[in-house]
Amino acid sequence: MRKKLPKQILADMYAIRKKGLTYYQENYFWPVPEKEHRNFVQLMHDTYISLISNMDDKDAFNISLVDYKFIIEPLEGIFHYNYIKEFSKKYDIDILSGNESKRYMDPDWHNISLFYTKLSFPFGKVQRVIRRLVKNIIFNRHLSVWKQIKGFFLKKETIGIGSYDRLKREFIEKQSYYCDHREWIDMIPTKELSDSDKVSKLVQHITKNVINPFISKLQNENNLFVKNMDFSQLKKSWICRLNDATLIYLALKQQSKPKRLLVTEMTKPHRILFTMAFQEECDVYGFHHGNDSGLTVYKVGHQSERAHCKKLVVPTDGIAREFSKIYSNDPIGRVMKTEFISADSLFYQGLLSSLDQSIPNVKTKKIMIIGAPANPNRYIHEQGQFFYVKIDLELRLIKALKKHNYNVIYKVHPDRAVEIRGLFEDYVDEYNVEPFEEVWTCADTFIFTDTASTTFGFSLATKKNIVLLNNKFDERNQFAQNLLKKRVRLVDMFMDDDLHLQFDSNSLIYALENPHSTIDYSFVHEILS
């Protein structure tokens, strides 16, 4: 039986900011149950993966894998918020929302259909030429002057697109490559394809074998996710963007290829297009991003964002080993046969050495809560990875700590400073928006509410105490979990029927007051080094 229904649903962070935290907690209600949402999202992914895995046309499979991202963004969100709208209509409840959820609440299907043709970049063509020149000077300084000159004038064997992040830099320097750093937009052909018939046949093939059965499967579901959904508009938009993706894909296939292509931000669809169009004729290396060390199993995320790449560069042998163990037998993994390549990064090993003079293990007085993202995306890899749930959890956590007279620092998630502004400042002793790497020394203990934070790995290499609110529902790699227990105090957490993430305050205080007597770096040594 449902709890008493509120008069209004706060649909995004704008709504919570407008009504205030007191109103939000007193009227806490989200109509979409966790299990129902998880099952529907899993159904979407399982259906799509099954359909594309059985395709016998290589190009059709490649293009379909490129647009797998369409399922995550925007379809997951559109169906989720369709449930909100239909529920509200059924029970005559108002919805308060702002721009943050608008793309899901009121999807612009025309704009969605133009996804692959809205090719834009923050810099003009002349600026991009200058940027390329400067990047190639600065980012090839690991080579001798002669090799730089030679690389500049001769045919470019190695081309890089995307940011020059730490992992990519380490890989390039260790291989002694001269890398031509280009903007991806300048590598997309501008001329129209002459073989429009091939484009049409491929799109028809994908429509018949993927889009139509996928939509049919969802239409047969009897739930609020799909009720009154405009499937005809969805289909029209999808076919249009697939047509554009196919045009770009075939044009890229016709291009001359370098010996190797290095791709960062590899989860973005335009980057995936390059990967799928190039990797049959040259070595394409995609680069690991974030903090996924193989501790938490991100099956949906891996298959939709990384499994397309046949050569995935990860920081260490340990991560490569764990990735191979947990992802190689996924449906897409079996098709692509992804090779997990270690960059032999010394980052965490160096971090351990550089932090030897950090503050040793001391009695906990100052606690830093690592804030979560606050966007309207509801992820299924870790239970409660959703702004509506996390804000409530973090507020109750702050109150529990303040009740026991701890000094509380709230570390804002770097991408969500705007969304979260104005909520927690009056509840904590310090509200910090600076990069974690610059402020971590301010606290005695870190508290994480999930493992997805990019700061999580960094924190493991410090001498600080760490507490993780651990939801046993989340799928963990047992080997990594056992190592983690030696370093981190785990406090059990579970989600109740009202979507509150519940934890025992006494267990939390015990974990804070009784840290591990010694700091065990087995996780860092075995996986991150």
Domains in the chain: boundaries: 8-106+193-248, 125-187+256-345, 360-528
Task: Give the per-residue pLDDT at 357.
Answer: 47
Of the two residues 154 and 321, the one the predictor is more confident about is: 321
Work out the angle between the directed axes of helices 77-91 and 34-53 (0-180°, nearest 10).
140
Q: In this prediction, what percent of the chain has a pLDDT beyond 70?
A: 96
Exposed e or buried b for every residue in 11-32, given b needs 16+ CB within 10 A? bbbbbbbeeebeebeeebbbbb
Question: Does residue 396 have a pLDDT over 70?
Answer: yes
Of the two residues 423 and 414, the one the predictor is more confident about is: 423
Question: Does residue 360 have a pLDDT over 60?
Answer: no
Token pair of 363 as six digits:
């009695």
Give the pLDDT mean for 43-57: 94
Pairing of strands 94-96, 158-161: unpaired
Task: Give the per-residue pLDDT at 356.
Answer: 56
**64-73, 120-129, 514-523: segment of lowest average pLDDT:** 120-129
Give the pLDDT mean for 177-182: 95
Burial of 437 by CB count in 10 Å (0-12 exposed, 13-18 middle, 19+ buried)?
A: exposed
Of the two residues 413 and 250, the one the predictor is more confident about is: 250
Question: Does residue 507 have a pLDDT over 50?
Answer: yes
Question: Does residue 228 have a pLDDT over 60?
Answer: yes
How far apart are the C-alpha atoms of 306 and 508, rounded to whole Å? 36
> Which residue in the block uniquely carries the two structure tokens 């770097």?
414
Task: Give the per-residue pLDDT at 190.
Answer: 66
Task: Give the per-residue pLDDT at 2.
Answer: 54
Evaluate whether 425 touches 408 at the Cβ level (below 8 Å).
Answer: no
Give the pLDDT mean for 126-132: 90
Quote the Cα angle for 372-376-377, to 5°. 80
Residues 417-421: contacts with CB under 8 Å, at least 24 apart: 419/13, 419/100, 419/374, 419/375, 419/387, 420/13, 420/371, 420/374, 421/17
Token pair of 138 as six digits:
């600065």
Band of residue 189 on the pLDDT scale cut at 50, 70, 90: confident
How far apart are the C-alpha atoms of 335 and 338, rounded to whole Å? 8
Say if domain 125-187+256-345 classifies as CATH 3.40.50.
yes
Task: Give the per-residue pLDDT at 82.
Answer: 98
Predicted TM-score of the model (pTM): 0.93
Tell me which residue of 108, 332, 117 sits closest to 245, measured CA to CA: 117
Tell me which residue of 123, 377, 364, 158 sits closest to 262, measured CA to CA: 158
Token pair of 425 as six digits:
């400042």
Q: What is the mean pLDDT of the chain?
A: 92
Token pair of 48 as six digits:
């799509």
How far apart are the C-alpha atoms of 88 and 92, rounded to whole Å? 5
Task: Give the per-residue pLDDT at 304.
Answer: 86
Question: Does residue 201 have a pLDDT over 70?
Answer: yes
The stretches of 409-477 forming alpha helices (DSSP H) are 417-420, 436-439, 455-460
Question: What HEC string does 340-385 produce?
Answer: EEECCCCHHHHHHHHCCCCCCCCCCCEEEEECCCCCCCCECCCCCE
Quote the Cα angle for 96-100-105, to 5°. 60
Evaluate whether 249 touches 276 at the Cβ level (below 8 Å).
Answer: yes
Q: Which amino acid is at 428?
A: V
- Laid out side by side, the sheet with 430-432 consists of 430-432, 407-411, 366-370, 445-448, 465-471, 489-495, 501-503
> Which residue in the block uniquely carries the two structure tokens 């810099």?
123
> Hey, do 125-187+256-345 and 360-528 end up sharing a CATH topology, with the first three levels equal?
yes
Burial of 438 by CB count in 10 Å (0-12 exposed, 13-18 middle, 19+ buried)?
A: exposed
Question: Which secondary-structure segment (H or E) carries 245?
Answer: helix 231-254
Of the two residues 349 and 285, the one the predictor is more confident about is: 285
Q: Name the fold adopted by 360-528.
A: Rossmann fold (3.40.50)
Q: In this prediction, what percent of the chain has a pLDDT beyond 90?
A: 73
Evaluate whether 477 touches 321 at the Cβ level (below 8 Å).
Answer: no
Exposed e or buried b for every residue in 207-243, given b needs 16+ CB within 10 A? bebbbeebbebbeeeeebbbeebeeeebbebbebbbb
Task: Give the per-residue pLDDT at 1.
Answer: 43
How far apart are the C-alpha atoms of 10 and 94, rounded to whole Å? 9
Of the two residues 333 and 387, the one the predictor is more confident about is: 387
Give the pLDDT mean for 256-280: 94
